[in-house]
């Protein structure tokens, strides 16, 4: 296993190597929480069986399926590139030619599925992959169901199956689904390609689903002006609420779409002011193959012409004249192809009925001619063909062609040095994102390597712009669940959570990300979520002995809220901190409260009552109270040895060390 490619609600996709066949594959592993659910496992296995039956250039191939150590897995074709959702996100609304070119290949894939007896049921941009060569491939047949069998309804156990933005009305209403359900979803996707938005939005998925049931998809031109009316009609027919009014299947939709492509090309050729863009942008699908498996073998005299464009152009031409012998008047019948114009009426589906696959060619008119006229015409044609053949032979003989060397992986200057040896040159014709080719080097050439080019000509080169980069979203102040969803929606993976203290962001909310917000990163880059632990704790220092003002300032510097309480103290000088609550060394968080106990000095002494005591007893009592004793004899001779009076009287509060006078009799 090499790396993680994508993660969804049901499974995770990894880039892996098939060591048996030595090839790179995509390994889809169901989340372990779902592997124990037989219903989910059955859907997973159904995806493998459905997709394995399809072999088509526009369908992602499935190689193997199984389980190991409680994990259910699916081995699929690895498709380098990006999804159609990435294209819409990067480009927004596409010009009609581009939109039709992309959907054409999607419909070819669905045609193969419908011919094989399956309905996809989850057509959306996320399930359409665009390869580095521009080929569109439909993936995720996990919802696919056989058109025949016991299960053919749109819901399972009361749950709507599919993605609500693209659900057909019958999928919401639990009616039986068939090919026309895929046609509806493809029509909604075409609406989004043309306008950059889905036709229905609402506050909840269920509300979106019921809008599909109760409302009509609007014409794309109601959102984006200048969309041709026949393109409007194409969307409106595909998204008709009544399945009977839609195209019968993907094949009929694709035939009508091809005719619309022809109209778009004709309008571009005939209207110099038309600004529908180059139908072959750098990401656009490659030309269609000459024959597409799963389509009818005979569709009349029709050719598929790629012409270097992503949009396949089907050119109807006249069949060879057929002579019908008539006894009196020979006639030549000119057989025309079946008509396929789109309606000019905006906003409706009139004139969009697709051709029957088996519809024969019909004679449209008769042109009388004489036998002599036919002979003259025949001779003229022979002479013209001979002259043409001679001219072509002379031209081919006089023009030198060379094989295009392989210069991929080189810069333009180095490539010109190599090509000069073959009498060719190269110039940059565009830039494309590439995960494998470094920035500034050639990805491919036109004509491709090995094909012929006219000697002395300049070929086109597509240069790598490096890996496609996406912007990391700004997530500061959001919760971890919301941030995780936003990171995954932006095409990245959550690489872990880092917790830091932050004075500005509340606890458990995001401070930022690593790499930082708005930086450009590759899809799938691990994004670390930096989460706040709130304010950083502090350790309370020893403030005892400091003045109240000094201790209060230090507490404020630490973010603590201090209050003062004064108390008597025999040890701390008055006006200094005698103690703190809590004590020094405690862990506190900024904003916590701190009490500063400030000394008022020693507590005062209360003069005891010593009147009537002997002199020695009274002296001891006063000294015990912290007072000094001054004795005075009342008479020259002490007769009774008793305290007659004291000054100050008992109960008086005096500072310690104050004097008390006693009179002895």
Query: What is the second-level CATH architecture of the domain 401-464?
Result: 2-Layer Sandwich (3.30)
pLDDT attached to residue 464: 92
φ/ψ of residue 48, rounded to 5: -65, -45
- Is the bond into 443 cis (omega within 30 degrees of 0)? no
Per-residue pLDDT, 147: 43
For 77, the token pair is 């074709």
Distance CA 357, CA 360 (A): 9
Instruction: Give me the CATH code for the 86-305 domain, please.
Output: 1.10.510.10
Residue in this structure with the two tokens 């595909």, named with its chain if needed: 238
Q: Which residues contact 550 (CB under 8 A, 6 or more apart)?
A: 543
pLDDT given at position 248? 94
Q: Is the peptide bond preceding residue 569 cis, with omega within 30 degrees of 0?
A: no
What is the pLDDT, as a whole number, of residue 626? 86
**Which secondary-structure segment (H or E) carries 182?**
helix 179-195
pLDDT > 90: what percent of the chain? Answer: 48
Cα–Cα distances in angstroms (integers) from residue 600 to residues 150, 411, 551, 555, 566, in the given order: 93, 86, 16, 21, 6
> How far apart are the C-alpha atoms of 37 and 221, rounded to whole Å?
45
Distance CA 309, CA 239 (A): 27
Where are any strands of DSSP class E within 248-398?
A: 302-305, 313-316, 322-324, 331-336, 362-368
Instruction: Report residue 375's pLDDT band, with 50, 70 and 90 as the boundaries.
Output: low
* One fold for 3-77 and 469-532: no
* Chain centre distance of CA 341: 39
Pair of tokens at residue 393: 């032979």
pLDDT-derived band at 469 (thresholds 50, 70, 90) equals confident
Q: Which of 143-157, 384-398, 406-420, 424-438 has the lowest mean pLDDT?
A: 143-157
Q: Pick from 226, 198, 186, 217: which is nearest to 103 by CA?
A: 186
Q: Name which residue leads in pLDDT, 436 or 308.
A: 436
When the candidates are 1.20.59.10, 3.40.630.10, 3.30.10.20, 3.40.50.720, the CATH number that belongs to 605-664 is: 3.30.10.20
Residue 393: predicted pLDDT: 53
pLDDT tens for each residue of 558-572: 989 999 999 998 889
Tokens representing residue 76 in the block = 């699929």
Contact 596, 562 (CB under 8 A): yes
Checking if the pLDDT of 317 tops 60, the result is no
What is the model's pTM?
0.43
Of 40 and 443, the one with more pLDDT: 443
Summarize the confidence of residues 596-616 as an average pLDDT.
Answer: 91
CATH code of domain 3-77: 3.30.200.20
**538-599: CATH class:** alpha beta
pLDDT at 291 over 50: no
Q: Which H or E run contains 237?
A: helix 229-238
**Higher-scoring residue by pLDDT: 389, 427:** 427
Q: What's the confidence (pLDDT) of residue 544?
A: 94
Full DSSP string of 479-501: BHHHHHHHHHHTT-EEEEEEEE-
394: pLDDT strictly greater than 80? no
Q: Which of residues 452 and 173 earns the better pLDDT score?
A: 452
User: Minimum mean pLDDT among 7-11, 203-207, 452-456, 659-663: which range?
Assistant: 7-11
Convert the pLDDT of each residue in 325-373 to its tens digit. 333 333 322 223 323 333 333 233 323 333 333 333 333 333 333 444 5
Q: Which has more pLDDT, 604 or 302?
A: 604
Say if residues 118 and 296 touch (Cβ distance below 8 Å): no
For residue 55, what are the contacts with CB-CB under 8 A and spacing of at least 6?
61, 112, 293
> What is the DSSP code string of 372-398?
HHHHHHHHHHHHHHHHHHHHHHHHHHH
Tell me the average pLDDT across 620-646.
Answer: 86
pLDDT at 467: 87
Please give the positions annotated as active site.
122
The string of pLDDT tens digits covering residues 610-631 is: 999 998 999 999 999 889 999 9
* Sign, Cα dihedral of 348, 201, 59, 158: negative
Check residue 385 and give its pLDDT. 65
Per 3-state DSSP, the chain is made up of helix, strand and coil in percentages (nearest 5) of 30, 25, 45
Is pLDDT above 90 for 510? yes
Beta bridge partners of 565: 597
CATH of the structural domain 469-532, one choice from 3.30.10.20, 3.30.1360.70, 3.40.50.150, 1.25.40.10: 3.30.10.20
* Of 145 and 169, more confident: 169
Mean pLDDT of 380-405: 65
**CA separation for the pair 192, 212 (Å, rounded):** 15
Reported confidence tier of residue 63, pLDDT bands at 50, 70, 90 = confident
pLDDT band at 401 (very low <50, low <70, confident <90, very high): confident
Percent of residues, the chain, with pLDDT higher than 70:
75
pLDDT at 7: 76
Q: How many residues does the chain have?
A: 665
Helix (H) or strand (E) holding 615: helix 615-624
pLDDT in tens, 221-253: 999 999 999 999 999 999 999 999 999 999 999
DSSP designation for 153 = B
Report the distance separating Cα 487 and Cα 421, nearest Å. 50
| Per-residue confidence (pLDDT) for residue 486, from 0 to 100 | 94
Q: What's the rounded Cα separation, in Å, for the pair 643 and 612?
A: 5
Say which residue, 384 or 584, is predicted with more confidence: 584
**pLDDT higher than threshold 80 for residue 47:** no
Give residue 553's pLDDT band: very low, low, confident or very high (50, 70, 90).
very high
Greater pLDDT, 387 or 506: 506
In the chain, where the domains are located: 3-77, 86-305, 401-464, 469-532, 538-599, 605-664
pLDDT at residue 378, as a whole number? 59
DSSP for residue 291:
S
pLDDT at 72: 85
Handedness of CA 538, 542, 544, 548 (dihedral sign): negative
At residue 260, what are phi and psi to the nearest 5 degrees? -65, -35
State the Cα–Cα distance between residues 306 and 288, nearest whole angstrom.
6
Per-residue pLDDT, 409:
93
Contact yes or no for 260/311 (Cβ under 8 A): no
Q: What is the mean pLDDT of residues 516-544?
A: 92
CB 641 within 8 A of CB 592: no
19-33, 43-57, 402-416, 603-617: least confidently modelled range: 43-57
Greater confidence (52 vs 154) lies with: 52
User: Above 80 in pLDDT, residue 303?
Assistant: no
Q: How many CB atoms lie within 10 A of CB 292?
A: 18
The rounded mean pLDDT for the chain is: 78
């Amino acid at each position: 296993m090499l790396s993680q490619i994508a993660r969804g609600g049901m499974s995770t996709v990894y880039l892996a190597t098939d060591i048996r066949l030595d090839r790179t594959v995509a390994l889809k592993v169901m989340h372990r929480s779902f592997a124990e659910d037989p219903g989910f496992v059955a859907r997973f296995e159904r995806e493998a069986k459905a997709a394995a039956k399809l072999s088509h250039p526009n369908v992602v191939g499935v190689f193997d399926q199984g389980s190991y150590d409680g994990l259910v897995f699916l081995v699929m074709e690895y498709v380098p590139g990006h999804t159609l959702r990435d294209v819409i996100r990067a480009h927004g609304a596409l010009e009609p030619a581009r939109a039709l070119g992309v959907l054409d290949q999607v419909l070819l894939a669905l045609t193969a599925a419908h011919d094989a007896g399956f309905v996809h049921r989850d057509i959306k941009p996320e399930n359409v992959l665009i390869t580095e060569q521009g080929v569109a491939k439909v993936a995720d047949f996990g919802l696919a169901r056989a058109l025949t069998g016991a299960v053919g309804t749109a819901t399972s156990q009361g749950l709507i199956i599919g993605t609500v933005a693209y659900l057909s009305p019958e999928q919401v209403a639990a009616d039986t689904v068939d090919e026309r359900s895929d046609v509806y979803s493809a029509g909604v996707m075409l609406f989004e390609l043309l306008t950059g938005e889905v036709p229905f939005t609402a506050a909840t998925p269920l509300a979106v689903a019921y809008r599909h049931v109760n409302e009509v998809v609007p014409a794309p031109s109601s959102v984006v002006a200048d969309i041709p009316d026949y393109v409007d009609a194409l969307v409106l027919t595909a998204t008709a609420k009544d399945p009977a009014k839609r195209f019968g299947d993907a094949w009929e939709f694709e035939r009508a779409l091809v005719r619309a492509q022809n109209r778009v090309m004709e309008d571009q050729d005939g209207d110099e002011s038309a600004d529908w863009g180059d139908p072959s942008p750098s990401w656009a699908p490659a030309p269609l193959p000459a024959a597409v498996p799963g389509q009818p073998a005979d569709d009349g005299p029709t050719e598929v012409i790629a012409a270097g464009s992503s949009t396949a152009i089907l050119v109807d031409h006249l069949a060879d004249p057929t002579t019908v012998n008539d006894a009196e008047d020979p006639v030549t019948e000119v057989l025309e192809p079946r008509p396929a114009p789109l309606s000019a009426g905006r906003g409706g589906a009139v004139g969009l009925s697709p051709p029957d696959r088996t519809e024969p060619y019909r004679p449209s008119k008769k042109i009388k001619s004489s036998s002599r006229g036919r002979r003259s015409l025949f001779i003229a044609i022979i002479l013209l063909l001979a002259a043409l053949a001679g001219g072509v032979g002379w031209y081919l003989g006089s023009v030198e062609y060379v094989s295009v060397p392989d210069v991929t992986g080189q810069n333009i200057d180095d490539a010109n040095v190599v090509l000069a040896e073959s009498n060719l040159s190269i110039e940059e014709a565009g830039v494309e994102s590439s995960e494998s080719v470094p920035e500034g080097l050639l990805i491919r050439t036109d004509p491709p390597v090995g094909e012929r080019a006219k000697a002395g000509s300049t070929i086109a080169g597509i240069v790598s712009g490096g890996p496609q980069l996406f912007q990391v979203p700004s997530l500061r102040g959001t919760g971890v669940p919301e941030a995780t969803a936003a990171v995954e929606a932006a095409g990245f993976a959550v690489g872990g959570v880092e917790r830091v203290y932050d004075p500005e962001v509340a606890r458990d909310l995001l401070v930022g990300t690593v790499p930082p917000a708005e930086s450009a990163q590759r899809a799938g880059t691990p994004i670390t979520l930096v989460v706040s632990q709130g304010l950083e704790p502090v350790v309370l220092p020893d403030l005892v002995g400091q003045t109240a003002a000094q201790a209060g300032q230090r507490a404020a510097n630490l973010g603590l809220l201090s209050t003062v309480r004064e108390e008597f103290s025999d040890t701390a000088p008055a006006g200094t901190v005698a103690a703190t609550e809590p004590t020094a060394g405690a862990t506190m968080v900024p904003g916590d409260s701190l009490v500063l106990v400030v000394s008022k000095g020693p507590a005062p002494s209360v003069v005891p009552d010593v009147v009537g005591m002997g002199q020695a007893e009274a002296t001891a009592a006063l000294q015990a109270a912290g007072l000094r004793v001054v004795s005075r004899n009342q008479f020259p001779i002490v007769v009774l040895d008793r305290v007659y009076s004291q000054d100050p009287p008992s109960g008086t509060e005096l500072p310690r060390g104050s004097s008390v006078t006693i009179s002895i009799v």
